Chains A and B, each alone.
Chain A
Amino acid sequence: MDVAKNKYSIIVPTYNERLNIALIVYLIFKHLRDVDFEIIVVDDGSPDGTQEVVKQLQNLYGEDRILLRPRAKKLGLGTAYIHGLKHASGNFVVIMDADLSHHPKYLPNFIKKQLETGASIVTGTRYVTGGGVHGWNLMRKLTSRGANVLAQTLLWPGVSDLTGSFRLYKKSVLEDVISCCVSKGYVFQMEMIVRASRKGYHIEEVPITFVDRVFGSSKLGGSEIVEYLKGLVYLMITT
């Protein structure tokens, strides 16, 4: 593939990320110096002024590099990606979180891996050497590991990190996969990668580090576990 002609559309869904979005944009520009890219901010009507900050960033970096494509209210991650996709002019799409748990410094690694292997999807994994997590207590690590072993045993997904949402897709592949995914939340991320795997797309992994910035917030209560198990069963039956 002609390197000079690749363009990367980075979709960042935001909700109340007034500070983080500015930091992320700065870091993306810092780490992708010689790359043709655009950042698509899909903001779901944040009340904290996120969109104002994005407009300031547009003044600084250019409206052709930062696209603000907001929505009226919180409408969910899957639809945020679909919305972002409609405005993406690149042939590659990166999805990442806005809260700085995904560090833009790994973007060159994603790009390099894709160019080296010609993969359709490059997904970030926290669970291999070179990757890692910070900010998780023992309980959190235990549930994460248990969930992962269960998913590996039941689904044979072909990737080590199923719930990760730091990924690079060929645009056509993302469009194909996203059209058949119906789940919500992190099960959505699992569904995307499992469906892609079942369809035979070439998937590669790069290690990433994940700094959980929401210290002390218990994202894993009983209902989350039930949702997860339901998600696994759903994926077993439908993929």
Chain B
Amino acid sequence: MKHVLKLFSLLVVISALWIGLLQASIIPRTHTWLLPIYFIVSLGCYGLLMVGVGLMRFPTCPQEALLLQKDIAEAKDFLKKKGVDVGSD
């Protein structure tokens, strides 16, 4: 099943639940009508939270740049001795 159809069926299920709630009146009607908006807003907030948390915890590796420079020097050294042209590009 194509992914968009999966998402669509999920949406259908959630809508069915919502309509069911509307009809069953377990929650006062006024609240039920607002549920989709609450849902979308929560989803948006969750998304922003994930972006924010991810940004704060974004793994960085400054030491890797140094290690890379070392590796480059080592490689250039070896290759020059063996006759490979490692002039700068």
Contacts and interface: CB of A to CB of B under 8 A. Distances in A.
Q: A and B, one complex?
A: yes
Nearest to B84: A56
Return the 10 tightest CB-CB contacts between A and B, nearest first: A132-B61, A132-B59, A26-B75, A19-B89, A145-B54, A209-B61, A209-B64, A236-B4, A23-B75, A56-B84
Contact of B2 (A19, A48, A156, A238): A238
Contacts of B83: 56, 59-60
Interface centre among B62, B65, B68 (most CB of A within 10 A): B68
Given A56-B85, A129-B59, 14 more contacts: A18-B85, A20-B89, A23-B72, A48-B89, A100-B68, A127-B59, A128-B59, A132-B58, A133-B61, A134-B62, A141-B55, A142-B55, A154-B3, A236-B4
Contacts of B89: 16-20, 48
Interface string A84-127: 00000000000000001001010000000000000000000011
Interface string A1-37: 0000000000000001111101100110000000000
A22 B55 contact: no
Nearest to A157: B3
A52 B85 contact: yes
Interface size class, chain A = 35 or more
B78 interface: yes
A239 B54 CA distance: 26
B59 A131 contact: yes
B60 interface: yes
A136 B50 CA distance: 19
Interface residues of B, number: 31
B61 A211 contact: yes
Contacts of B76: 23
B49 to A, nearest CB: 9
26 contacts: A19-B87, A22-B79, A22-B86, A26-B78, A27-B71, A49-B85, A52-B85, A53-B84, A100-B68, A127-B54, A130-B59, A132-B60, A133-B58, A133-B61, A134-B60, A135-B65, A145-B54, A149-B54, A153-B47, A155-B3, A156-B3, A209-B61, A211-B61, A211-B65, A236-B4, A238-B2
A82 interface: no
Given A22-B75, A149-B51, A237 B2 contact: yes
A26 B65 contact: no
Contacts of A130: 59
Contacts of B51: 142, 145-146, 149
Given A23-B76, A27-B75, A134-B60, A148 B88 contact: no
Contacts of A209: 61, 64
B26 interface: no
